[in-house]
Amino acid sequence: MSALITCEGVSVRFANEAVLEQVNLTVSEGEVVTLIGPNGSGKTTLIHVLMGLLKPNLGSVWRAPDLHIGYVPQKLAVDYTMPLSVARFLSLGSGTAKKFTDVVHTVGIEKLLNRQIHHVSGGEMQRILLARALLKQPSLMVLDEPAQGVDFQGQSELYHLIGEIKNAWNCAVLMVSHDLHFVMSATDRVICLNHHVCCSGQPESVALHPEYQRLFGSSKHNFAIYNHHHDHHHDLHGNVIGPKP
């Protein structure tokens, strides 16, 4: 598994306030990495640094030379003064007609194409943004809180869809999420960020980490949905420490 994107010792300051301190992160081919952290902990700043939108004050970022990033922003509010159909919005990106049909079918937005983009719901908008990112034939999908403003049922479907896309299109995924209970089962690695990397590793180990519990509490219901069978244990760093007895 070769690395797609790597940052080392990244520090960012806004007006003398440290937003990121000494952050190291690597996303490799086919991997799903989830960034969690409280509001204002620097998650969006970190993905902006990784995508090259923001130069860090310190540290370095490396991106694979042929890296195609498909980006799904937190939200997209198109000004109502601009008439814009969903189809025209998608065609502003790239991709062939065949690709277009495939993508539209995958995310299930056939019926939305002629709709004005101001008239779609939060969940529909996230699917449209996913489609736009997929049209770029990404080797890495970057999603910034993809389920924001989506209802409970919709969130579950959306994360399911992201998982399907990851498998079918064979791309790596880096996402920011508050909903650890939703993303747990689909995530290879969780990175808990609070200006610095508090802890990282496989989902269960992060959920048990004292730093994580200090930030998010250790409420039992967090564990309710993502429970799944594992045939091995992890230590606090996410290393596998042998099969289940």
Partner 1 sequence: MMEWSLDHFLVRALMGGLLIAVTAAPIGCFIVWRRMAYFGETLSHSALLGLALGFLLGIQPVLGVLAVGVAAGGVLIAMQRRRQLATDTLLGIIAHGSLALGLVVLSSQETLRIDLFAYLFGDILTVGKQDLAVIALGSLVSLGVLLFLWRPLLLMTISEELAAVEGVNRTLVTLLFTFLVALTVALSMKAVGILLVTSLLIIPSAAARKLSRTPEMMVVGAVIFAALSICGGLGAGLLWDLAAGPSIVVVATALFAVTYLVPGRV
Question: What are the percentages of helix, strand and coil residues in the chain, rounded to 5?
Answer: 35, 30, 35
Using CB under 8 A, which of the segments 71-79, 145-153, 160-168, 202-210 binds partner 1? 71-79
Segment contacting partner 1 by CB under 8 A, of 24-32, 86-94, 98-106, 232-240: 86-94
Whether the Cβ atoms of residue 46 and residue 35 lie closer than 8 Å to each other: yes
Q: Does 236 bind partner 1 (CB under 8 A)?
A: no
160 binds partner 1 (CB under 8 A): no
53 binds partner 1 (CB under 8 A): yes
Q: Does 66 bind partner 1 (CB under 8 A)?
A: no
Judged on CB neighbours under 10 Å (0-12, 13-18, 19+), 12 is buried
Q: Distance between CA 93 and CA 136 in Å, rounded? A: 7
For residue 117, the SS3 value is helix
Identify which of 88, 150, 151 has the alpha carbon closest to the alpha carbon of residue 116: 88
Binding mask 96-125 for partner 1 (x = CB under 8 A): --------------------x---------
Binds partner 1 (CB under 8 A): choice among 76, 168, 236, 240: 76
Of 14, 40, 58, 78, which one interacts with partner 1 (CB under 8 A)? 78
Candidate residues 66, 79, 110, 231; the one interacting with partner 1 per rule CB under 8 A? 79
Residue from 18, 67, 84, 208 that binds partner 1 (CB under 8 A)?
84
Helix 122-134 with 152-169: angle, nearest 10 deg: 10
Q: CB neighbours (10 Å) of residue 37?
A: 22
Minimum distance between the CB of residue 213 and partner 1, rounded to whole angstroms? 33
Bridge partners (DSSP) of residue 61 are 7
Contact residues for partner 1, defined by CB under 8 A:
51, 53, 69, 71, 73, 76, 78-79, 81-85, 88-89, 92-93, 116, 132, 136
